[in-house]
Amino acid sequence: MNERGEQQRRGPERFHPRDVVSAREIVLRLPALTVQRVHDLRRGRLGFPEPIGRRGHEFVWYWPEVRAWAGRLLRRQ
């Protein structure tokens, strides 16, 4: 945890470029979602992964975490 009590992200310090995805790229890989839905999920719904940072003005995520989240969600149904 950091000084504000937030959990620190653990994982690779460097990510392969194809594993860093924007909301638009997530929608291309998971067509059941929309860009707006990705941003709604980012605000804390259903355990969606936290963004790993920004690329320009866009939030970006680590694709293996998003893929794992989608897999867990589908297994629940």
% of the chain surpassing 70 pLDDT: 81
Cα 74 to chain centroid, rounded: 16
pLDDT per position as a tens digit, 4-39: 444 445 555 688 999 999 999 999 999 999 999 999
Q: If you average pLDDT over every residue of the chain, what do you get?
A: 85
pLDDT reported for residue 7: 44
pTM (predicted TM-score): 0.77
Q: Which two tokens stand for residue 2?
A: 């950091």
**How far is the CA of 61 from the CAs of 1, 4, 11, 76, 77, in angstroms?**
20, 22, 12, 22, 24
Instruction: Give the start-to-end residue ranges of the domains of the chain.
Output: 17-76
Question: Residue 73: its pLDDT value, please?
Answer: 83
User: Among 33, 34, 69, 76, which residue's Cα sits nearest to residue 51?
Assistant: 69
Distance CA 66, CA 49 (A): 6
